[in-house]
């Protein structure tokens, strides 16, 4: 299948006011203001103080080249990190989600966790750009301010260690996102994928802007209103490496999606791991904390 060309639009904006000072304060208060409304939350972790920025995603270089990057900047033009500087929590079980890969595209875009300001780039292997063997059918990206600690063995998931990345989100809404877009989502389920021995959580979520968002609040609602979607997500991530000659990925927790409460537990634990990382309680290795 021909790889779908992925283009970016930097039209989405996010306004954040963080009332903390210094490299890390916990807990703090903040306000996130989107074009279509304002949501408030009183407790977060943050790794830098950002005062009233207009956060925008901006391209550098040409898509589908090794130099292509999508950086995030505030209203002064200062580069910030979509991983570290966008708050996770929005309150009432709602979270920020950064789109890396829009639905119905195949370029393997990801936050460059080892580069300053952690821009979004296309992944490479042996110097060549990477593509999935077929389009991904959902918006895919990350939860900011989360981290799957590679030194932590999760006793509930076969003792697997984290994959050293932010937590992944599969957003099942009907609209196609844009690279670098920040969506408000609510988690619905969690899949515990084991990828070459590493734990790689997939949080299934839905954008609050989706017409069916009010109908789905837990894993059973997904099956009712999006029948077959959870199985399709699991099978897609299980099989996508097979065309490259690699074995299928596995899923723990009985090969089934865990419910919303478990997904929130995963988010809380990985947010705490991220906080330890940016406080340098855990060695960062090659990860960028800027």
Asked whether the beta carbons of 261 and 205 are under 8 A apart, the reply is no
Q: How far is CA 154 from CA 81, 151, 265, 269, in A?
A: 28, 10, 13, 11
Give the chain's end-to-end CA distance (angstroms, integer). Answer: 38
| Burial classification of residue 172, based on how many CB atoms lie within 10 Å of its CB (0-12 exposed, 13-18 middle, 19 or more buried) | buried
Take residue 221 and report the two structure tokens written for it. 């609602």
257 in the Ramachandran plot: left (φ > 0), alpha (ψ -120 to 50) or beta? beta
Tell me the C-alpha distance between 207 and 178, whole Å: 13
Q: Is 132 a catalytic residue?
A: yes
Cβ–Cβ < 8 Å for 184, 208: yes
68, 131, 132, 240: the catalytic one is: 132
Residues designated as active site: 132
């Amino acid at each position: 299948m021909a790889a779908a060309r992925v283009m970016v639009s930097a039209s989405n904006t996010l306004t954040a006011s963080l009332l903390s000072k210094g490299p890390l304060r916990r807990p703090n208060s903040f306000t996130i203001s989107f074009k279509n409304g304002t949501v408030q939350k009183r407790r977060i972790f943050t790794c830098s103080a950002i005062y009233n920025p207009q956060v925008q995603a901006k391209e550098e270089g040409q898509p589908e080249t090794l130099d292509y990057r999508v950086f995030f900047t505030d209203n002064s033009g200062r580069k910030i990190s979509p991983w570290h500087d966008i708050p996770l929590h929005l309150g009432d079980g709602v979270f920020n989600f950064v789109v890396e890969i829009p639905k119905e595209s195949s370029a393997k875009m990801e936050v460059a966790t080892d580069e300053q300001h952690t821009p979004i780039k296309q992944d490479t292997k042996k110097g060549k750009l990477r593509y999935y063997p077929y389009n991904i059918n959902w918006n895919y990206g990350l939860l900011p301010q989360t981290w799957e600690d590679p030194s932590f063995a999760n006793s509930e998931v076969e003792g697997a260690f984290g994959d050293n990345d932010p937590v992944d989100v599969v957003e099942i809404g009907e609209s196609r996102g844009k690279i670098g877009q920040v969506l408000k989502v609510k988690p619905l389920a969690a899949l515990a994928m084991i990828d070459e021995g590493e734990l790689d959580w997939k949080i299934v979520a839905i954008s609050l802007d989706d017409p069916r968002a009010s109908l789905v609040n837990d894993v059973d609602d997904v099956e009712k209103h999006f029948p077959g979607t959870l199985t399709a997500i699991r099978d897609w991530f299980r099989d996508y490496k097979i065309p490259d000659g690699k074995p299928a990925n596995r899923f723990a927790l009985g090969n089934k999606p865990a419910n919303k409460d478990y997904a929130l537990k995963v988010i809380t634990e990985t947010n705490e791991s991220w906080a330890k990382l940016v406080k340098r309680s855990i060695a960062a290795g090659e990860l960028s904390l800027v």
